[in-house]
A = this chain, B = another copy of it.
Amino acid sequence: MAARELVVLGTASQAPTRYRNHNGYFLRWDGEGVLFDPGEGTQRQLVLAGVAASSITRICVTHFHGDHCLGLPGVLARMALDHVARPVDVYFPAAGAVYFDRLRLASVAERRVTVRAHPVRNGGVVAGAPPFRLVGTPLDHRTTAIGWRLEEPDGVRVLPDRLEALGVRGPAVGELLASGSVTVGGRAVRVGEVSEPRRGQTVAFVMDTRWCDGALSLADGADLLVCEATFLSSAGEDGLADVSGHLTAAQAARLARQAGARRLVLTHFSQRHPDEQAFVDEARPIFPATTAARDLAVVPLPRRRPAPGA
């Protein structure tokens, strides 16, 4: 099975630092590659992370503050340079369409990648095709922002030894998976006989926002919750977080706990706090399965939850 992992491209809010590029997150999910919030410099961070721009199939932008979108022109330019022939789907808040239109045509280009623009107004399921559903949900920031959630439906894991035992081979396997049953040697084999239930995986991407129902809904039961934690409650920044439309590490941890997420990755750190450990230290007493994102780190998705009854 192909890798499912989060490649962290940048972790800085507002101003980049020596050690933190502006935001950028690449989620590798089987044959898909979803880029979230490409801040300035994402094009080069992809090079440093060893991620080919051609592996990007979708781009999700939460909002149009510069640290979340100014890398978009460079990423699209790089995809064109690399002769990506298929279209790339870009999802963004409809309220920011004017910025999107400027960004996609921000410089002279002799060749452009085909962009399928998906301005999202009120959230909901914005892409339903396998291997996942993509859901957008409004957040509560200083400008219109939409968080994103990738949901893989629960399904089945095919057991090769059962297939073999029942003589299901070659094209019959495909037919079985597509239609739920196949006749082999005069006997109808049902998919349930050669498989076991498998839980789908969910990744939620919450930034930038105050505490809100939308954030909770995005994070609900997520296997991996990537969440902004710009500030620290322990540094007395709850008020600053609120007025600027952000979360503290403690709030992000409470969000993960209340939503029943399985793992929390904090990111989008203020330059006030050069050491990410401070964010982890604040969050872990509330939600132990917390790590802090670091530029160019790779975070694998947690193993699937056991299927019901397994």
Interface residues of A (CB under 8 A from B): 14-18, 21-22, 40-41, 43-44, 47-48, 63-66, 69-71, 73-74, 77-78, 81, 96, 99, 102-103, 105-110, 142-143
A-B contact pairs, 23 of them (CB 8 A): A15-B81, A16-B44, A18-B47, A21-B44, A22-B44, A40-B41, A40-B43, A40-B44, A40-B71, A41-B41, A64-B107, A64-B108, A65-B107, A65-B109, A66-B74, A66-B77, A66-B106, A69-B106, A70-B73, A70-B77, A73-B106, A96-B108, A103-B106
Say whether, besides A21-B44, A40-B43, A99 and B106 are in contact (CB < 8 Å). yes
User: In the assembled complex, which residues on chain B have CB atoms less than 8 Å from the CB atom of A78?
Assistant: 15
Closest partner residue, chain B, to A109 (CB atom)? B66
Q: How many copies does the complex hold?
A: 2
Closest partner residue, chain B, to A53 (CB atom)? B15
**Given A40-B40, A41-B41, 6 more pairs with CB closer than 8 A:** A15-B78, A15-B81, A21-B44, A40-B43, A40-B71, A70-B107
B103 touches A16 (CB 8 A): no
- Whole-angstrom distance from the CB of A51 to the nearest CB of chain B? 13
A74 touches B110 (CB 8 A): no
Measured in the bound complex, the distance between the Cα atoms of B103 and A64 in whole Å is 13
User: In the assembled complex, which residues on chain B have CB atoms less than 8 Å from the CB atom of A44?
Assistant: 16, 21-22, 40-41
User: In the assembled complex, which residues on chain B have CB atoms less than 8 Å from the CB atom of A71?
Assistant: 40
User: In the assembled complex, which residues on chain B have CB atoms less than 8 Å from the CB atom of A99?
Assistant: 105-108
